[in-house]
Structure 1
């Protein structure tokens, strides 16, 4: 199904006027295509870790972490479990 971006924006503005806030998908369309990567980046920031620090603690190359965060590489179950252990999160968030 093709997205109607203009209608989504109008709906978002109407939601703001009604006091409902801005739908997250309007602010960050990557939520639809790369939720695991966005969770990875957000939780890494929450834990105040750089990609280099996270790489050292998980054994996952920094370049691979960057690609995962940007949706260019799948995270996979094994890496999700490594990340979850270090980031104090449920591994299923990254899948």
Structure 2
């Protein structure tokens, strides 16, 4: 399939560009276009079908860490460190050390935590 490009002028001197490309190449094309626009000095916003800006967790929490994710999920579930430690079969001190960043979360522990909170384990490694 060939790529198709359409230009739709709108108000305020702006235009909407519609680009159709093979699905297998869409992400690569989008990232390339974003890179070119960024190099040209434009701020590129991701928007949904209604024109609302989409933001990623990295945008909202640029200093996010596995420790922060663990603290946040534990708080969201209204669990104490001791309660989470019991569920995971570890000491409360280990939970505290992981939440403070004093102890790295191993991939094995990340999988256990992910299963406990029903979230992808990769947010903890």
TM-score range, shorter chain: 0.5 to 0.7
Superposed displacement of residue 52, structure 1: 0.6
Task: Tell me the TM-score normalised to structure 2 length.
Answer: 0.49
Superposed displacement of residue 58, structure 1: 0.7
Task: Tell me the TM-score normalised to structure 1 length.
Answer: 0.64
Question: Is the helix fraction higher in 1 or 2?
Answer: 1
Match of 2:33 in 1: none
Deviations 1:35-74 (A, max 9, x none): 0000000011111111111011111211011011111000
In structure 2, list runs of 5 or more residues that go unmatched: 1-59
**Root mean square deviation, CA, Å:** 1.9
Shift >3 Å, 4+ stretches: none
The number of aligned residues is 68
In structure 1, list runs of 5 or more residues that go unmatched: 1-22
Match of 2:120 in 1: 90
Q: Determine which structure has greater relative contact order: mean sequence separation of CA pairs < 8 Å that are 6+ residues apart, divided by chain length.
A: 1
Question: Is the strand fraction higher in 1 or 2?
Answer: 2
Deviations 1:63-86 (A, max 9, x none): 011011111000001111111111
Quick check: which has more Rg, 1 or 2? 2
